[in-house]
Chains A and B, each alone.
Chain A
Amino acid sequence: MVIVGHVDHGKSTIVGRLLADTNALPEGKLEAVRRECLRTDKPFEYAFLLDALSDEQDQGITIDTARVFFKTNARDYIIIDAPGHIEFLKNMISGAARAEAAVLVIDAKEGVRENSRRHGYILSMLGIRQVVVCVNKMDLVNFDEAVFRRIEQEYRAFLTEIGAVSPERFIPISGMQGDNLASRSDKTPWYDGPTLLEMLDTFQKAPPKVDRPLRMPVQAVYKFTNQGDDRRIIAGRIESGRVKVGDKVVFTPSNKITYVKSIEGFNTESRDEVEAGWSTGFTLAEELYITRGQVMSHVERAPLVSTRLRANIIWLGRKSFEPGRDYKLKLHTAAVPVRIHRINKVIDASEAGSQLDKRRVDRHDVADLVLETQSPVAFDTVGDNEASGRFVIVDGYEIAGGGIIVSAEEEERDELRFEARMRDFHWVKGGVTASQRAERHGHPAALVMFVGGAKTGKHGYARALENALFESGRNAYMLDGTNVLLGIDADLHFVDATQRELVRRFAEVAHLLLDAGMLVVSTTNAIGLADYADVQALLGDATSIVVDVDPEGKSTAPCDLRIRGNEPEAQVIAQIVDLLGKRQITQG
């Protein structure tokens, strides 16, 4: 449970008083603080029980969140006392993000202030549904009911306006004097609701999400061979749903499908089924190449996949969040480069959701925007699944913002990705697996694609590369675009040939060769660097390297290697072999 609100509205005092009134303090702690106050000639404050740091006591403010443990007859609590200073907003968020319920404090005398609103907004965005509002310091307004009602009315109106869940209850309290905290106050005869303590005990613990579709983001793949352990374990926490030994599962976005062979553990009974909440591990029927960031699910209810996400974010970075700059998106266990695709609106969360006219997101702003990731990610909307619908943005070394995914934004390649997905889901497998092929050939499959205009020398490099790979014992094949045009594409003279269709057919031919375990070296005039993302969408997670031959040296579009076309073949081949090595395709 987190306690939030504007600075000086009395959060630490309430928590301190609650601890004192429920006998949750260690013996002698209260007396020690009283003695210390006497010694330093400060009036005693319950907040001193919480604000443990020397700066906090000197300045009389909470700087960082504190975890406080206490228990009632109903249950154990971890209370997170969050700071109210705007400067420490990120500390408040760190506290609130962990909470299942929140107490929002408003000073009866000061009324609704900037951070009362901002914190309400953030709680709503963090997905905290159980909120109680305490109107504190009622003693300073003579326990006047009219003051209390006015604040309740104003704050409810604000929450409605921003579309947040209205709190279950407003309680008039005095943290300093203990009114309506642990025991009912006789100074508020007009209030017939529960005390804060009674209210807390009505909050529900979030039920485990066992009945939702299975989501297990892959945290890591372990193999402790040097410890004499040959298991290859896919490790991660099941965020929702359940999975049994023998279940058919798919890993998204790679679309790889296999069966669960076993559920692994240490110092625990062996089990055939495991459900949401467990950090566990699996062995699989097939040794697929699975990486961190992929999400394991059942085939029928797989997560969404896209490179464009519509999101709400709150920004905490010292530097603004701006279009045109590179950031990192961390979403469940995935981490991918990301940019702003479009800002829909920037909101001032300290006002009633008023819109700001700007093209960047500044510190403490809230924004509705569309993000574009460099490669596809698996996700859900936050409404469907919180764990796979929440993310942070990393700027440099810092976590600079956090957000929720509202929807998938349509993107040109969605259709191709959907086609690839359906193809992979229903792919009829032969008896030989990809890892068996990789073992036989001495390398996994990969595509090296030369692009660039006509007469740039692509073909020569491609032939030389195919030769070099073949001579060193690899299973290489050159796929020339002309051959695809003459054969597979021959009918396109008679129908409406679109560039999209040329790309689609070329990529599907490459996909077949990759499925056969080959190192495919392609060279084509018809398909350029601009089409590469489409090709990759159809190849799924197969490794591919794109080499742009650009004699003018003018292109700035991203590629893996850019050459002018006058470099010696041996040098280019060495560079490509090096790239293949880095992607763990070739060794030595």
Chain B
Amino acid sequence: MDHLDQLEQQSVYILREAYKHFERLCMLWSIGKDSTVLLWLARKAFFGHVPFPLVHIDTSFKLPEMIAYRDRLALEYKLQMVVGQNKDVLASKRTFPDTQDLPEGHPDKVSRVDCCGQLKSGALRGTLHGTLPRMRMNLKTGQYDPDPDSQPYTGVIVGARADEEGSRSKERYFSPRDKNNAWDVGDQPPEFWNQFKTDFSPGTHVRIHPLLDWTELNIWEYIQRENIPTVSLYYDQGSGKRYRSLGCGPCQAPIDSTSKNVDDVIVELKSGKLKNVAERSGRLQDGKHGLEELRRGGYM
């Protein structure tokens, strides 16, 4: 058994524990490499099936390739695909991209962090709790219809990795959040061996993190080994640039890289110029404790 096998087997174990304990379970799929590995691991855990809905929060600023890829895989894997969106904020244009050209200090200007708070955290909260409308893919037509189900999800599987940044390094595999999605990082439940918190009071829900022990390199090595399809944005298409992590277009800068496929990416991470560069350095909203604050408020 090699290291990747061990990571895979532990993640499968955690996914099965989650499925056992939460009747209202869903998995977040950001279309990025981590949550796509997570989706693959779910198919491993359940012998080719994914027995819970996949939830995607669409900020409307995602790159079009991501959406096309999402819908293609949803049809191919027969996924229960649920999409949520903060339509009010989008309609009233209270977003960073819509207001970025306003002068500094303008009362209507929305910061990147506040924009994430609305379009991601806010939309996610509403979608998980069922207070915002959900759309569900109709596998016969490939179209999205309003989802009649508005019950809250009590277990949410998330692809966070501990090596991404400081506050994620403090997560549990099973992490309870209260009604407002708040994370009490100083008072997390103990995890002895493979016993996780699976009992919780009404109103709370639990985030499940099967990928905590994986590094960015592990993810790519696993994608290579399992031959998992990924979005083309991760690779240089001839422009000398590629995305190292995927987010919204306006807050996500591609990096200079000529990696054209998975093998190239692995070489670049292992011995090339990315060896010692933090993965989220291309994300513009992090800053000092920016992500910790976002996470306390429900950000993934």
Query: Which residues of A line the B interface, CB within 8 A?
Result: 23, 25-29, 36, 52-55, 63-69, 76, 78, 88, 90-91, 93-94, 97-98, 208, 219-220, 222, 224, 227, 229, 231, 233, 235, 237, 264-268, 277-279, 281, 292, 316, 328, 330, 387, 390-392, 394, 396-399, 402
For residue B226, which residues in chain A have a CB less than 8 angstroms away from its CB?
Answer: 267
- What sequence of 0s and 1s flags, for each residue 1-36 of chain B, a beta carbon within 8 Å of any chain A beta carbon? 101011001101100110110000000000000000
Determine if A279 and B292 form an interchain contact, defined as CB atoms under 8 angstroms apart.
no
In the complex, the answer to whether B186 meets A64 with C-beta atoms within 8 Å is yes
Q: Given A91-B190, A279-B9, check contact A76 B3 (CB 8 Å).
A: yes
Inter-chain CA distance A52–B201, complex, in Å, is 29
Report yes or no: A219 in contact with B169, Cβ–Cβ below 8 A. no
- B201: which A residues are within 8 A, CB to CB? 397
A54 to B290, CA, bound (A): 10
List of A residues within 8 angstroms of B6 by Cβ: 277
Q: How far is the CA of A264 from the CA of B49 in the complex (A)?
A: 13
B-side contacts of A277, CB under 8 Å: 1, 5-6, 9
Which listed residue (A229, A264, A399) contacts B189, Cβ 8 A?
A399
CB contacts (< 8 Å) of A93 on chain B: these are: 190, 192
Q: Considering the chains assembled together, what is the distance between the CA atoms of A91 and B212 in angstroms? A: 16
B residues contacting the other copy or chain, number (CB 8 A): 55
Max chain B C-beta neighbours (<10 A), residue from A29, A78, A98, A316: A98
Residue B167 interfacial (CB < 8 Å): yes
Rounded to whole Å, the gap between the CB of B299 and the closest CB of chain A is 15
* CB within 8 Å of A: which B169-184 residues: 169-170, 172
- Taking CB atoms and an 8 Å cut-off, the chain B residues in 195-215 that contact chain A are 195, 197, 199-201, 212-213, 215
Interface centre among A98, A237, A266, A277 (most CB of B within 10 A): A266
Checking B49, B51, B185, B195 against A402 with a beta-carbon cut-off of 8 angstroms, the contacting residue is B195
**Is the pair A224, B46 in contact by a Cβ cutoff of 8 Å?**
yes
As a 0/1 sequence over residues 120 to 140 of chain B, the CB contacts with chain A under 8 angstroms (1 = contact) are 000000000000000000000
In the complex with contacts A67-B212, A390-B193, A27-B276 CB distance below 8 A: yes
A219 contacts B170, CB within 8 Å? no
Q: How far is the CB of B193 from chain A (nearest CB, A)?
A: 5
Residues on the A chain within 8 Å of B276, using CB: 23, 25-27
Quote the shortest CB–CB distance from B196 to chain A (angstroms).
8
Determine if B167 and A53 form an interchain contact, defined as CB atoms under 8 angstroms apart.
yes
* Cβ–Cβ contact A292 & B195, under 8 A: no
Query: Which among B20, B185, B281, B289 is the interface contact of A64 at CB below 8 angstroms?
Result: B185
Q: Do A267 and B44 have beta carbons less than 8 Å apart?
A: yes
Q: Which residues of B contact A78 (CB under 8 A)?
A: 213
B195–A391 CB distance below 8 A: yes
Q: A277-B1, A277-B9 are in contact. Are A267 and B43 (CB under 8 A)?
A: yes
Alpha-carbon separation in the docked complex, A396 to B10 (Å)? 27
Contacts of B165 in A (CB 8 A): 52
Per-position contact with A for B210-229: 1 when CB-CB < 8 Å, else 0?
A: 00110100000000001000
A76–B217 Cα gap in the complex (Å)? Answer: 12
CA distance A54 to B167 in the complex (A): 9
Task: Tell me the complex Cα distance, A328–B289, Å.
Answer: 38
The one of B162, B192, B277 that contacts A67, using a Cβ cutoff of 8 Å: B162
Q: How close is A286's CB to chain B, nearest CB, in angstroms? A: 20
Contact status B188-A91, CB under 8 Å: yes
Question: Interface majority SS on A: helix, strand, loop or mixed?
Answer: mixed
Q: Which residue of A lies closest to B166 (CB)?
A: A52
Least Cβ–Cβ distance between A78 and chain B, in angstroms: 6
The docked-state distance in angstroms from the alpha carbon of A222 to that of B51 is 10
Which DSSP category, helix, strand, loop or mixed, fits chain B's interface? loop
Residue in B closest to A233 when the chains form the complex, CB atoms: B47
Q: A63 — which chain B residues lie within 8 A by C-beta?
A: 170, 185-186
Q: Does B288 reach chain A (CB closer than 8 Å)?
A: yes
Contact between chains at B170 and A231 (CB < 8 Å): no
In angstroms, how far is the closest chain A Cβ from the Cβ of B151? 19
**Cβ of A383 to closest chain B Cβ, rounded Å:** 16
Q: Is B78 an interface residue (CB 8 A)?
A: yes
Contact A94 B51 (CB under 8 A): no
Q: Mark B243-273, 1 if CB is under 8 A from A, else 0.
A: 0000000000000000000000000000000
Task: Please give me the residue from chain B that is nearest to A402 by CB atom.
Answer: B192
6 nearest interchain CB pairs?
A52-B166, A402-B192, A67-B162, A90-B190, A26-B278, A279-B12
How far apart sit A91 and B49, CA to CA, in the bound complex (Å)?
A: 35
A42 to chain B, nearest CB (A): 13
* Listed A/B pairs (14) with beta-carbon separation below 8 Å: A67-B212, A68-B169, A69-B215, A78-B213, A93-B190, A94-B192, A98-B193, A219-B13, A220-B20, A229-B48, A264-B47, A279-B45, A328-B199, A397-B199
Q: How far does the Cβ of B125 sit from chain A's closest Cβ, in whole Å?
A: 22
- Residue in A55, A229, A328 whose CB lies within 8 Å of B47: A229
Contacts A76-B3, A398-B189 known; A64 to B170 CB distance under 8 Å?
A: yes
Measured CB to CB, the closest approach of chain A to B288, in angstroms, equals 7
Other than A29-B278, A63-B185, A277-B6, give 18 A-B pairs with Cβ distance below 8 A: A26-B276, A26-B277, A53-B166, A54-B292, A64-B186, A67-B213, A94-B191, A98-B193, A220-B19, A220-B20, A266-B48, A267-B43, A279-B9, A396-B199, A397-B197, A398-B197, A399-B191, A402-B193
Q: Is B58 part of the contact surface with A, judged by Cβ < 8 Å?
A: no
Take A219-B17, A227-B49, A397-B200 as given contacts and tell me if A97 and B192 are in contact as well, using a CB distance cutoff of 8 Å: yes
B163, CB-defined interface residue at 8 Å: yes
CA distance A64 to B162 in the complex (A): 13
- List, in ascending order, chain A residues with CB within 8 A of B289's CB: 54
Q: Is A222's CB under 8 angstroms from B192's CB?
A: no
Whether A399 contacts B190 by the Cβ 8 Å rule is yes
Separation of A25 and B278 alpha carbons in the complex (Å):
9
Decide: A219 and B192 in contact? CB cutoff 8 A: no
Q: Which residues of B contact A392 (CB under 8 A)?
A: 190, 192, 195
Question: Can you name the residue of chain B whose Cβ is closest to the Cβ of A96?
Answer: B192
How far is it, in angstroms, between the C-alpha of A220 and the C-alpha of B49 when the chains are bound? Answer: 15
Q: Which residues of A contact B200 (CB under 8 A)?
A: 397
Contacts of B166 in A (CB 8 A): 52-53, 66
